[in-house]
Structure 1
Amino acid sequence: MNVKKISKVLVSPFFLLVIFVFGFFKVATCQVNDTDSAEDLYNRGYRYLSADKEKAIDLLTQSIKKDSTLANAYYHRGITYFKLGEFEKALSDFNKTYELSPDLSIIYMYKGFAQRNMGNISKAVESFSNYISLNPTDTSAYSYILRGKMKYELGDFNGAVNDYNMATKLKPFEEKYNYYKFVAFKEAGYYKEALKSVNNLIEVNPDFYGYYFYKGNVFQNLNYYDSAVYMYNIAIIKNYQNPDSYFYRAQSYEKLEKYNKALEDYNTAIALNNTDGSFYSKRGNCKYLMGNKDEACEDWDVAGSLGYYEDFDKVKSVCN
């Protein structure tokens, strides 16, 4: 069989059985003979890919020594190197694969993965771009997401969002693609755009409490505290055991000067998670606004003991 190109052949079940038994015997004995052809070594290495990566690399390397034009041997050895975290070796094999099989566009994706893991973000963007130029309507759209994430790391926010938009156009109901776009908008402070994105997420998955929680956070960022409370209410109905929903609803109640409701939510958040210093610190702030100085100081002190010091200066200025 010619393995320089990936191909499909039709063979009889009996022939497959013979090949399997013969192949299994050779793998089991782990013997390499001088008479083994490059294709024999490649096929044996291929069978080892899942069972023993180091052995697979050894056999694929021997096949390459016998025939340096086996594109598939470089390709699978590169993927195996990548899985073992040897990214420079993987990239070298991917480059050789492309040299031998320039029509194999998927190699650009693997080159991008390797470059990303080596910290070469700009080169990763270039590799993903090469893949996209050859497959502009790849229905998985994953290449746009990957390139978008790389652009975001480089500070190219608009470029990242453009890629996320393309991904969601190709796969409008792909939940994680819409989520990536939402996160990009929110982290960049584009809250109105983030609001549209989280609405898309709710449309895709209306049962997940987290999207209502995220929408509440966006409303809070926009100072729409009544709307934030409403979203946190839905999040709590869908998952009453998530402490963050109570914690953030408490902050919205506080902004609305509904201190009793805020205090009740802080208490619930702490009952669900008593190891988060920020919960005690914010409850201390609420108690202080309600005129409970001593209890506020106790909460700020607990927050500090848990490693949260954002409001700890108040212990010195207010409590002493």
Structure 2
Amino acid sequence: MLRMTPRHSSHAQSAPWRAVSIIALTGLGLALAGCQTAAPISAISIDESQGSEQNIASLTAVIRSNPGNPESYNVRGAAYGRAGEFRKALADFDKALQLNPRFYQAYANRALIHRNTGDITAAAADYNKALQINRNYDVAYIGRGNLYRQAGRLDEAMRDYERAIALDTTDPRAYHNRGLILQLRGRHREAIEAFSTSISLSSESPEPYNGRGISYAALNDDENAFADFNHAIQLDQSVAESWSNQALIYERRGETEKAIRSYARASQLDPDYQPARDGLSRLRKS
């Protein structure tokens, strides 16, 4: 199953679904930047091992030996998706669905490719089809929820995430993305709980640490916020949001030189990242 990676990258800024929320911190005259996993990012994480020529050649050999097996096309389509060869991935998912029109996993996989290429209408249709076939498919609820969130339809997105959670999903995206919506609504304690659950399911991504840190900071718990931002940096030093969030805590502590260095690092990673630019401008003026 293809999965949307939960990782934001400064290199993915051109992606149409990338979203950044700015959460005002009451009475402090500062703002904290939050990284939102609106698919961020590249909706599909490129995996050189799964998308290697050798792996795809092996999968092609399997298809040649049994061309009527839809699962083989689904697996190779996933490999093509991981390799960034989206046209070939779509062709394989189309073939899998031709062979088995009720192959709901292939619909969800094809939806992710459509989303990655910007065809949101086709992506929504495929998620809906997957759910018509299997109303208990958590992956499709999460994927469709992400489309709703991308469109600003937060109530519908929340319902889909909560449906996935009610199905006992172990996919951390359901909790992470639910946390983002709770955060936008100012329900920070609930957001912290959601991000913590996401972390418990997958602790290798910086996004839920950034998200949880933002809510900690909104509650004036700078110690826990700082710990989360630092951990996000340890996990991936290429994420501008993490450095900018760390800088804000330094700024709130009055550690101006450290704040400037962290804002500068964020700006170096992503020259267009506005919170870092604003932070540098604010500190240099003062």
Segments of structure 2 that go 5 or more residues without pairing to the other structure are 1-49, 234-242, 266-275
Query: Per the alignment, do residues 191 and 239 of structure 1 end up closer, same or farther by CA in structure 2, a change over 3 Å counting?
Result: closer
Contact kept? 1:71, 1:97, Cα under 8 Å: yes
The CA deviation string for residues 154-212 of structure 1, in whole angstroms up to 9 with x for no partner, is 333222121112222333776442221122344xx4223x5422234347769997565
Contact kept? 1:121, 1:150, Cα under 8 Å: yes
Query: Per the alignment, do residues 104 and 277 of structure 1 end up closer, same or farther by CA in structure 2, a change over 3 Å counting?
Result: closer
Following superposition, the deviation at residue 232 of structure 1 comes to 0.8
Counterpart of 1:270 in structure 2 is 260
Following superposition, the deviation at residue 69 of structure 1 comes to 4.3
Following superposition, the deviation at residue 108 of structure 1 comes to 1.2
Higher relative contact order (CA 8 A, sep 6+): 2
Contact kept? 1:113, 1:124, Cα under 8 Å: yes
Following superposition, the deviation at residue 239 of structure 1 comes to 7.1
Aligned-residue identity in percent: 18
Matches within 5 A, 1:29-68: 52-53=54-55, 55-56=57-58, 59=61, 63=64
Contact kept? 1:213, 1:245, Cα under 8 Å: no
Counterpart of 1:281 in structure 2 is 281
Query: Per the alignment, do residues 134 and 54 of structure 1 end up closer, same or farther by CA in structure 2, a change over 3 Å counting?
Result: closer
Counterpart of 2:20 in structure 1 is none
Q: Distance in 1 between matches of 2:116 and 2:281?
A: 39
The CA deviation string for residues 270-309 of structure 1, in whole angstroms up to 9 with x for no partner, is 36665555444333xxxxxxxxxxxxxxx229xxxxxxxx
Following superposition, the deviation at residue 115 of structure 1 comes to 1.6
AA aligned to 1:87 is: F
Q: Distance in 2 between matches of 1:156 and 1:163?
A: 11
The CA deviation string for residues 130-173 of structure 1, in whole angstroms up to 9 with x for no partner, is 222333234xx232211111222233322212111222233377
Query: Per the alignment, do residues 111 and 246 of structure 1 end up closer, same or farther by CA in structure 2, a change over 3 Å counting?
Result: closer
Q: Distance in 2 between matches of 1:150 and 1:133?
A: 17
Segments of structure 1 that go 5 or more residues without pairing to the other structure are 1-47, 220-226, 252-261, 284-298, 302-320
Q: Distance in 1 between matches of 2:79 and 2:230?
A: 45
The CA deviation string for residues 56-84 of structure 1, in whole angstroms up to 9 with x for no partner, is 476567x38xx864545544443444344
Contact kept? 2:90, 2:113, Cα under 8 Å: yes
Counterpart of 1:180 in structure 2 is 177
- Give the SS at the match of 1:191: coil
Contact kept? 1:131, 1:143, Cα under 8 Å: yes
Counterpart of 1:313 in structure 2 is none
> Is residue 213 of structure 1 aligned with residue 213 of structure 2?
yes
* Residues matched between the structures, number: 210
Counterpart of 1:300 in structure 2 is 285
Contact kept? 1:247, 1:266, Cα under 8 Å: no
The CA RMSD measured in Å over matched residues stands at 4.1
Structure number with bigger Rg: 1
- Give the SS at the match of 2:157: helix
Contact kept? 2:51, 2:83, Cα under 8 Å: no
Contact kept? 2:263, 2:280, Cα under 8 Å: no
Structure 1 residue corresponding to 2:185, chosen from 186, 190, 194:
190
Contact kept? 1:144, 1:163, Cα under 8 Å: yes
Q: Distance in 2 between matches of 1:246 and 1:85?
A: 34
Counterpart of 2:17 in structure 1 is none
Counterpart of 2:42 in structure 1 is none
Counterpart of 1:114 in structure 2 is 113
Query: What TM-score does the superposition give when structure 2 sets the normalisation length?
Result: 0.56
- Give the SS at the match of 1:52: helix
Q: Distance in 2 between matches of 1:216 and 1:165?
A: 23
